[in-house]
Amino acid sequence: MRGTNDWRCRVAAILAAVVGLILMLGGGGHLSAILETRAGKPFDYRFVSLLTTSGILMFPGVVAITTSYWLWQGRTWAYVACLVSASALMLYLGLLIYMKAQVPATATDAGDEVYVMSGLVVAYLVVTLSVFLWLHGGRTRRPFAG
């Protein structure tokens, strides 16, 4: 099987585990900060929105960590799962960056960590997509002979 024990797959798997851990820590940190600052305040839509952000950070982290074994082996489904979850996270982070650029700094609590996480996720996406394309580079579609 192409990809098994290849250094590219190993790099993608190790990067997925590291990025997954960072995303889990970031989501956990966000969750603890939200719970701390919102303690004693009524449950409202903003609180739910902020809790959702923690999940949005943690879910791709969980996917990356749990699929790293199969990334190492070059399994297509693992690469697709990581690419889809990280792309959804990147879309969300892109919206946050756009929002930060459109509103005054006092209108949002989103800090510079948005840029750090975005850079990390972009690097992760580039490496994962590169290895995925390398794994499937030798395969061509054959027309249906009917």
**Of 26, 126, 134, 136, the residue nearest 83 (C-alpha):** 126
CA-atom Rg of the chain in angstroms: 18
Structure token pair of residue 97:
């960056």
140, part of any domain: no
58, part of any domain: yes
1, part of any domain: no
Is the Cα dihedral 26, 105, 92, 128 positive or negative?
negative
23, part of any domain: yes
Structural domain span for residue 77: 7-135
- What pLDDT tens digit does each residue of the chain (146 aa) get? 455 668 999 999 999 999 999 999 999 988 898 888 877 777 788 888 888 888 999 999 999 999 999 999 999 999 999 999 999 999 999 998 888 888 776 666 667 888 999 999 999 999 999 999 998 885 555 666 55
64, part of any domain: yes
What's the number of domains the chain is made of?
1
3-state SS string over the chain?
Answer: CCCCCCHHHHHHHHHHHHHHHHHHHHHHHHHHHHHHHCCCCCCCHHHHHHHHHHHHHHHHHHHHHHHHHHHHCCCHHHHHHHHHHHHHHHHHHHHHHHHHHHCCHHHCCCCCHHHHHHHHHHHHHHHHHHHHHHHCCCCCCCCCCC
- The whole-number pLDDT of residue 144 equals 62
2, part of any domain: no
49, part of any domain: yes
143, part of any domain: no
- The whole-number pLDDT of residue 142 equals 60
Structure token pair of residue 106:
């006092």
Owner of token pair 């959702």 = 52
The reported pTM is 0.82
Is residue 47 classed exposed, middle or buried when 0-12, 13-18 and 19+ CB atoms within 10 A define those classes?
middle
